[in-house]
Amino acid sequence: MDATKARTAANGETPVEQRLIFFNQALREAIDEEMTRDPTVFVYGEEVGVWGGSYNVTQGLLDKYGPLRVIDTPISEALIGGAAVGASITGSRPVVDFMYQDFMGIAMDQIVNQAAKNRYMFGGKNALPIVYRAAFGAGIGNAAQHTQSLEAWFTHVPGLKVVAPSNAYDAKGLLKSAIRDDNVVLFFEHKALYRERGDVPEGEYLVPLGVSDVKRAGANATIVSYARQVQFALQAAEQLASEGIDVEVIDLRTLYPLDIDPVIESVKKTNRALVVHEAVRFGGFGGEVAAQIQELGFDYLDAPVKRLGAVHAPVPFAEPLEMASFPSVESIAQGVRELMQGI
């Protein structure tokens, strides 16, 4: 891939020169640029300062902005979640690092009952510009308590926006939009993507929250996904193209608010839909997407909507078992084949 190729910015207007950087570097640039632009933005969480974050997202920010704006916290997720509420109400824009999505369960009262409800309960008087960041997902051997995909929990809660980018370009633009948003945004980063490179332009650009993106156009079937599984879906689509099956791939990017319209428009064209995510299939976010496709696009379907997700079990530590526990490129390709056959 050419690191300096021209690409159109997210607003569809200005062509920009690009370069290849890692996913975690793109996130760091987003935070750095927003901290420079707005002195009310600050970062805190476990190991964000001296260690630069568990995946180096905040590396170097402590030296640049000092300990009043880059703060290492105690190992107390309740504190981490709750302090953001007070900070945001009093005029700051906290970017909070929970390290792992799994740990957010300890802060559910602060996130679900305090942050998510505050603006509603006080008649909109308070803005809560909070970004809660967390790594999630399997595939790098972190075992059962550091590997879950729990995003469906949070999409169920009114007052929370939920974001899960699939590539470095979107990650930077979405995080900048999240930091500028006056609502609570949960920003989930698949840990296997941190060392993936992507084309990211220098300079200012935003990717709006709540807007899906067609990553690959196709005519025979639609794959709907988010985060790392979008990359798998694109690889599966290339594999299927050699078999004469033309697949469209849609990246949701924001899970809530959900932009379902591009999905329905795609299904009108392809007449088939496969929804894929790494979370456990039972009760996963894919069920909501599948239901909306059925409700809004039923007349266009030539086959029932199909779902792929992880097995209903804790994620194993053993690599062969771990890799077999969630959808792969091959299982996605096979899912489309079955969809084409009406299975």
Strands (E) in 60-193, as ranges, are 70-72, 93-100, 131-136, 160-163, 184-190
Q: Are 11 and 206 in contact (CB under 8 A)?
A: yes
Q: Evaluate whether 161 touches 140 at the Cβ level (below 8 Å).
A: no
Measure the CA–CA gap between 5 and 26, rounded to whole angstroms. 17
Q: Which residues contact 126 (CB under 8 A, 6 or more apart)?
A: 88, 89, 118, 119
Q: Is 77 a catalytic residue?
A: yes
146 catalytic? Reply is yes
3-class SS of residue 45 = strand
Structure tokens at 107: 């802060």
Catalytic member of 29, 77, 189, 278: 77
**Longest alpha-carbon distance in the chain:** 60
Lookup result for tokens 């976010």: 285
C-beta of residue 315 within 8 angstroms of C-beta of residue 138: yes
Structure tokens at 95: 């970017």
Cβ 215 vs Cβ 252: under 8 Å: no
- Tell me if residue 279 falls in helix, strand or coil: strand
User: Are 263 and 273 in contact, with CB atoms under 8 Å apart?
Assistant: yes
The one catalytic residue in 29, 34, 46, 146 is: 146
Cβ atoms within 10 Å of 270's Cβ, excluding its own: 21
Amino acid occupying residue 46: E
Contact status, residue 48 vs residue 60, Cβ threshold 8 Å: no
- In the chain, what are the helix, strand and coil shares in percent, each to the nearest 5? 40, 25, 40
Active site residues: 77, 146
